[in-house]
A and B are shown apart, each in its own frame.
Chain A
Amino acid sequence: MAARDEVVRRLREMLGEAALAPDEDYAKGVSWTVQVPAASLPEVLGVFKEAGFYLESMTGLDFQDTLEIVYHMNTYEPRSRMAVRVLCPHDGEVPSATGLYDSALWQEREVWEFFGVRFAGHPDLRPLLLPEDSTERPLRKTFGTVHAYRKREEIYG
């Protein structure tokens, strides 16, 4: 708990109260959700790194108006998981977290090949799970059969 509170305190100072949303009863499986502008992502993840969090999961969401990268950070304490969300335009760039977390090396490669999000500063952006020569972005809603392609506020609004 201590590590989580420390992170929350520092992020409040850094980003302001509005960026953080608590989830008291852990209904979504995360205790806090942090909305971060892409530019300040490295600093935010740095705060997590210093507090002893690891990058548990990283994935993308494709909306009509934007892409969103969701980082789930966790530490070895009960109920500490926090979500860091970054919005990114469809042809945009997100700073890479590889300098902070080695696990980002593969996870960013995965998000890159499936969503086409470029990670600025990633040393080795090759496809990971897809064939080496693939150019498709399979998890975008423009690929294959999809049931819905929505705007972000239709789900989170």
Chain B
Amino acid sequence: MAEQFAEPVRQHLYSLNLGPQHPSTHGVLRVLLTLDGEYIVEADPVIGYGHRGHEKMGENRTYLQFMPNTSRIDYLSGLLYNHGFCLAVEKLTGIEPPERARYIRVICAELNRISSHLLWFGTYLMDLGAFTPFLYCFDDRENILDILDRVSGSRLTYSYCRFGGVTRDIDDVFIEQTRAFVKRLRSRWKDYHNLVTKNVIFIHRTRDVGVIDKDLALRFGVTGPNLRAAGVPFDMRKVEPYEVYDRFDFEIPVGEKGDALDRYRVRLEEMEQSCRIIEQALDQLPDGPYRQERVRLKVKPPRGEVYFAFESARGQTAYYLVSDGSPYPYRCHVRVPSFGNLHCLTEVLRETLVADAISILGSIDIVVPEIDR
């Protein structure tokens, strides 16, 4: 893209505060831009406006008490974070959840992943100036929220998983609704493609914009769909299969050059793959208990540590728990994917236009509270 623009003349540089109050910074993010006309000379993301100290809170709470915090770290894929935390503690303690619980968790987690991607789709298009797809996505997303609300009792911050199972069993209505949703979502792809993917303005706004290639991703620790768009098939669900992901037949969509268009395609395809996982999980869903009965409320893991990585909607996420044998974690660190994804913007945003900065910021799909923790 850069060669298309004339060589910028570094004369009258000025700085522009993009945020913390701005329509498209997705939360309270501030990017301090040094501009030359409309060209960005330097971009310095300033984060921390939403710092709540989740890691410190983790040290002050029992493992179970920290569960609600996890879904507030990234409020758009809260269930995935619950799930990951559960798995980390189970691995540390040695709790084995029953089969049915594993499947329920996977189904709900994948539903949550789709809802997160749908929201990204809508807001990204809104960043590009198209308002309508946003409401189409929200219409679909609402279905997921209803389904998950029915089973977990909340729409965003689920806290649905428990050590050794889930809080509540799913019933036939849930299965029916989920199947109906998957069917409905599949019938909507055509609308999305007609409205957005084939739109010539959209293609021109995204092709070759904000290229994050493999080398850049490696230097900045970029993961998730942003990395896969660069052509690296790296997905925790395949590379280090946790839960029951190794029993499903699904693909990892990859892009070619890592521009915004690739990222868009990868996420769209990922939703379809999540649909496949959900369908297979529903087909294989075993009967039996939905939670392990003999789990103490105050879990006491043995001394030691665990680093558990899983794939959240935005990339590779990990909990690093250190236990001293008490019911309180000695250290509870969360590796969040948006941290690296946002950091690489300092490099990517250089020599682009303000309009592209917004587009790139939207295309990497950050959730700022997740970075701030």
Contacts and interface: CB of A to CB of B under 8 A. Distances in A.
Contact of A78 (B239, B306, B307): B239
Interface in A83-122: 83, 101-103, 105-107, 114
Contacts of A76: 232, 234, 239
Contacts of B219: 54, 101-103
Interface string B299-328: 000011111110000001010101110101
A12 to B, nearest CB: 22
B318 A57 contact: yes
A65 B340 CA distance: 31
Nearest to B318: A57
Nearest to B331: A61
Contacts of B240: 26, 78-79
Contacts of B328: 147-148
Contacts of B333: 57, 59
B324 A56 contact: no
Interface string A1-43: 0000000000000000000000000111110000000000000
Interface in B312-366: 316, 318, 320, 322-324, 326, 328, 330-331, 333, 335, 339-340, 343-344, 347
Contacts, number: 111
B130 interface: no
A129 B221 contact: no
A70 B56 contact: no
B22 to A, nearest CB: 20
Interface string A130-147: 110000001100011111
Given A103-B219, A106-B339, A129-B47, A81 B304 contact: no
A107 B219 CA distance: 12
A44 interface: no
A143 B60 CA distance: 12
Interface in B121-163: none
A30 B309 CA distance: 10
A79 B238 CA distance: 11
Interface in B205-250: 217-221, 232, 234, 239-240
A130 B51 contact: yes
Interface of B: 47-48, 51, 53, 55-56, 59-60, 91, 217-221, 232, 234, 239-240, 303-309, 316, 318, 320, 322-324, 326, 328, 330-331, 333, 335, 339-340, 343-344, 347, 372-373
7 contacts: A70-B320, A76-B234, A101-B219, A103-B343, A128-B48, A145-B60, A154-B303
Give 3 closest A-B pairs by Cβ, nearest first. A29-B307, A129-B48, A57-B335
Given A106-B339, A139-B56, A147-B59, 16 more contacts: A29-B309, A54-B217, A56-B316, A57-B307, A59-B320, A59-B331, A78-B239, A101-B219, A101-B221, A102-B219, A103-B343, A114-B55, A138-B56, A144-B56, A144-B60, A150-B330
